[in-house]
Amino acid sequence: MKTLFKTTSALVFMLFSCASPSDSQINDFLSSVESISGTEAYLTSPYLTPGDKAYMVGHQDGSFPDLGWHVTGEMGGVWSHPIKLMDGFGAQINVDGDRQCLNDAKSFVNYPFANQHLYEYADFKVTRTQFVPDQTKGLYVEYEIENKTEGAQTIEFTFNGFVDLMPVWLGERTNMNNGQDRISFDEGEGMAIGKDDLNNWYVVFRSTEHPKKYQIGSKMCDQDRLGQGNTAALTYEISVPAKGKYTIPFALAGSTNSMKDAHHALQSIESNALSLLKVKHARYKSIEQSARLIIPDKEIETAFRWTKYNTDWLVNDVDGLGRAITAGNPDYPWFFGADSEYALQGAMAIGMKDLTHSSIKLIDSVSNAVNNGSGKIMHEMSTNGAVFNPGNLNETPQYASLIWDTFKWTGDMEFLRQYFPTVRNGLNWLLEENDLDGNLLADGYGMMEIHGLESEMIDVAAYTYKAFVDAASMAEVLGNDEEVHDYQQKAQRLAEIINSEFWVDEFDSYADFIGTVSDADHLVDGAIVRADTLDKPWAVEELKKTKERIKAFDRNDKRGFVLYHNWVVNTPMEVGVADPDKALRALETGSQYVNPFGVFVTGIDRDESAGSDDGGFAKKMKIFSYTGAVMTLPTGVQAIAENNYGRPDKALAYLQRMTSSFSYALPGSMYEVSPDFGMVAQAWNIYSYAVPIVKQFFGIGPMAHLKQVLISPQMPSAWDKASLENISVGDNKFSYLFQRENDQMVLNLTQTNGDYQFVFDQSQFKVEVEKGDLDVDNGQVFLSGEEVRVKLSPLTK
């Protein structure tokens, strides 16, 4: 094996040894790239170095502590799914016996696709920079050492790799058994080689410089680690000129198949680092340019841009399984139904068509395989293909709406024909298998995974209503008239049920669930214990009154109960099924269950002061829990709900709350639980931004199969000028400039395909056409051409 790699590796070493050990080309390139610096308070919290074939998680101070709970203490480090490669790495500088461990960075800088840790010492400044090349199972890391003294310094630099080859969560279900890691050293290659005893899992690492010594089992600058890993230290001797710099690069790579594959990836990284970084930068530039938002609120503008980047951070491309968005990192880097169904609607609005299609392909194929073609959509699957939960009820109707939404953006008839059978089968399964009393309300768990909360849930009902509306639209496009009528009837009946049986007048709210008194009894008791444990006396008092009140009810009579004030009671407004008068009352009720960062997941967890505490959440939690959480998804749903009922200023206020958690802990990202708990990056955040902004504030309604875009803006009053550039609909791209002039909205729309029509509804606006090819039909104004200019005056209803 040594002979096989010798010639190529020797050439790499020779090429790099000719380079001047001065300023880093990588750092020079990044100096012109957008970045956000972290805060000192969160240096001991996680960051993510993103990649689709590998990624790395550590702490912002440059250390790699054991972190994560899904596989306890093992969710950090370097992963190339379905295996972990390393727990991380350490480095040490030794000058004349004075040793300094590089695990206490004074600052952290995040780029859209790379990160930096900056270390400051008396005689030296060190910058550690890292990124994961696209489509590569490995990582590039370099250390730029700046000598602050007047004399040249000879340094002994040691890189210590923490090898930990191990399977992903649920690995045992697919016979992925974890063996002891063995490390060897190829002296000719200057390379450490880690291999799992029981599997052909490899990780290799080295610098392009040749080490003067190595040590297996080194614990320098490291703590005792979990698992069956091992360490290998590579030591180099370098000379840093007076007031000068020296850059030493490293590459890490792995494989689940062979040493040859790992070595090939390593060579590619170390010999092409700068060009690979430029390729990744160019791709992120295209993400930045797609759905490019310019608005007066620069904080939301920045958060929206970075949330687009965050969405790409969560892509996982697993050999033999597929390429799809994952739910979050570090503890949910695998595939979900519901999380994807939210996130991909946002992804389509920002032009991520390929990701949406590949994610749907994976979800559809796995769901049909594990659920015997029933159309039931799975909930959670690890990256080894093991499905943990074959599906909650909400995921199946939400899938239908995702398919229709995606089709509207693309107009791809083959896509619709391919996935409509799953929609049809899924809706049949939902009612035939889960609606025992035949009232169109399926019984079982929805989004709220609270033990016992599995009756007729409000979110399942609301999303089922929306699914039937969308399925009817799909059936109409496909010419299935009988299904159109059936689906429309069911949607209409569900709308009536939601607005009568789920509505609880005394609470001005939709019910958490419909059930019998017997169903409610134990849930009330559980809610009282929860509220009392959390010291929420107002909630305890309310729940005790509810307990007394329901004693008078017939125990077998089914009715709606408001117990938890869960965020899902807002889903009727999210999907637009709520009667307007009820919607406005419910939205006002929902506004009570907030704090400065957004909406509580469970309303009875609300602070009695309704949000005067603006501190971090993480410091309050001893073990991982969502109890007491405020989350970005409920906050985004509330913004969407407000927009659906003509209240964009209130919707904007929710987005501003949510945005206050942006860069709070991890620069450039928003945590799953606001502001600083749970996943450091979360997929559904793009839903919470893109749907309210793209589809509602700008009022963009794609109908690509008709070569039309419906335009119905409802811009917040504070935004007198706003633009959205490079929106993709079908084979067309268009840009949109909004300006407010007195009481009118002036819209300039330019597009690459002048055959597409922008459609305006005359029942909503008085439309004055200033430019564009005009057609009017059935109360709608159709404008085509490469440039369209209109003035809109809202009509008073």
DSSP notation for 120-161: E-SSEEEEEEEE--TT-SEEEEEEEEEE-SSS-EEEEEEEEE
CATH of the domain at 715: 2.60.420.10
pLDDT tops 90 at residue 517 = no
- Least reliable range by pLDDT among 85-94, 227-236, 600-609, 718-727: 600-609
90 within domain boundaries: yes
Residue 172: what pLDDT?
A: 95
CATH of the domain at 126: 2.70.98.40
CA-CA distances (angstroms) from residue 367 to 323, 346, 396, 413, 676?
15, 22, 10, 22, 33
Residue 11: what pLDDT?
A: 39
At residue 616 the predicted structure's pLDDT band, cuts being 50, 70 and 90, is: low
Residue 747, classed as helix, strand or coil, is strand
At residue 364 the predicted structure's pLDDT band, cuts being 50, 70 and 90, is: very high
Q: How far is CA 116 from the centre of its chain?
A: 22
Give mean pLDDT, residues 125-148.
Answer: 97
d(CA 644, CA 692): 9
Residue 615: what pLDDT?
A: 54
715 within domain boundaries: yes
Percent of the chain residues topping a pLDDT of 90 = 84
Cis status of the peptide bond prior to 634, with omega within 30 of 0: no
Write out the two tokens for 736: 């949109």
pLDDT tops 70 at residue 368 = yes
Domain boundary among 240, 258, 285: 285
Task: State in Å, rounded, how far the first CA of the chain is from the last one.
Answer: 78
Domain boundary among 258, 285, 312: 285
Residue 645, classed as helix, strand or coil, is coil
Write out the two tokens for 96: 């004349």
At residue 449 the predicted structure's pLDDT band, cuts being 50, 70 and 90, is: confident
pLDDT tops 60 at residue 19 = no
75 within domain boundaries: yes
At residue 1 the predicted structure's pLDDT band, cuts being 50, 70 and 90, is: very low
Residue 22: what pLDDT?
A: 58
At residue 356 the predicted structure's pLDDT band, cuts being 50, 70 and 90, is: very high
Average pLDDT, the chain: 93
pLDDT tops 60 at residue 17 = no
DSSP 8-class letter at 657: H
pLDDT tops 90 at residue 97 = no
229 within domain boundaries: yes
pLDDT tops 90 at residue 776 = yes
pLDDT tops 80 at residue 703 = yes
Residue 547: what pLDDT?
A: 84
HSE-up of 691 (CA within 13 Å, CB side)? 27
Beta strands 315-318 and 322-325, pairing class: antiparallel
Give mean pLDDT, residues 709-722.
Answer: 98
Name the amino acid, one letter, at 80.
S
Residue 9: what pLDDT?
A: 40
Give mean pLDDT, residues 762-786.
Answer: 96
Among candidate residues 422, 443, 423, 421, the one with its CA nearest the CA of residue 432: 443
Domain count within the chain = 2
At residue 618 the predicted structure's pLDDT band, cuts being 50, 70 and 90, is: low
Residue 319: what pLDDT?
A: 97
d(CA 572, CA 465): 9
Write out the two tokens for 491: 């949607």
| Residue in the structure block whose two tokens are 């191990």 | 166
pLDDT tens across 644-677, in order? 999 999 999 999 999 999 999 999 999 999 999 9
418 within domain boundaries: no
115 within domain boundaries: yes
pLDDT tens across 245-254, in order? 999 999 999 9
Among candidate residues 326, 66, 78, 335, the one with its CA nearest the CA of residue 202: 78
Residue 620: what pLDDT?
A: 55
Q: Could you write out the three-class secondary structure of 203-252? A: EEEEECCCCCEEEECCCCCCCCCCCCCEEEEEEEEEEECCCCEEEEEEEE
Residue 735: what pLDDT?
A: 98
d(CA 657, CA 331): 25
pLDDT tens across 178-187, in order? 999 999 999 9
At residue 617 the predicted structure's pLDDT band, cuts being 50, 70 and 90, is: low
pLDDT tops 90 at residue 67 = yes
**Measured torsion, CA atoms of residues 247, 248, 253, 259, in degrees rounded to the nearest 10:** 140
The domain of 65 spans 2-285
Environment class of 442 (CB within 10 Å of its CB; exposed 0-12, middle 13-18, buried 19+): buried
Sorted by sequence, the CB contacts under 8 Å of residue 115 that are 6+ apart come out as 47, 49, 108, 109, 129, 130, 131
> Are 699 and 717 in contact, with CB atoms under 8 Å apart?
no
Name the amino acid, one letter, at 264.
H
d(CA 400, CA 365): 15
Among candidate residues 654, 634, 566, the one with its CA nearest the CA of residue 604: 566
At residue 613 the predicted structure's pLDDT band, cuts being 50, 70 and 90, is: very low
CA-CA distances (angstroms) from residue 676 to 207, 615, 715?
35, 9, 30
pLDDT tens across 305-345, in order? 999 999 999 999 999 999 999 999 999 999 999 999 999 99
Domain boundary among 262, 285, 308: 285
pLDDT tops 70 at residue 611 = no
d(CA 500, CA 517): 18
Q: Could you tell me how many helices (H) and strands (E) the chain has, helices first?
A: 18, 41
pLDDT tens across 42-55, in order? 999 999 999 999 99
pLDDT tops 70 at residue 743 = yes
d(CA 362, CA 314): 15
- Least reliable range by pLDDT among 567-571, 602-606, 719-723: 602-606
Among candidate residues 216, 119, 208, the one with its CA nearest the CA of residue 162: 216
Residue 534: what pLDDT?
A: 82
At residue 141 the predicted structure's pLDDT band, cuts being 50, 70 and 90, is: very high
Range 621-624, long-range pairs (CB < 8 A, 24+ positions)? 621/677, 624/69, 624/331, 624/678
SS3 helix, strand, coil % of the chain, rounded to 5?
35, 30, 35
> Are 562 and 507 in contact, with CB atoms under 8 Å apart?
yes
- Least reliable range by pLDDT among 31-40, 186-195, 302-311, 559-568: 559-568
pLDDT tops 50 at residue 714 = yes
578 within domain boundaries: no
232 within domain boundaries: yes
> Are 708 and 701 in contact, with CB atoms under 8 Å apart?
no
Q: Furthest-apart CA pair in the chain: how many Å?
A: 89
d(CA 180, CA 194): 10
d(CA 790, CA 751): 15
> Are 697 and 650 in contact, with CB atoms under 8 Å apart?
no
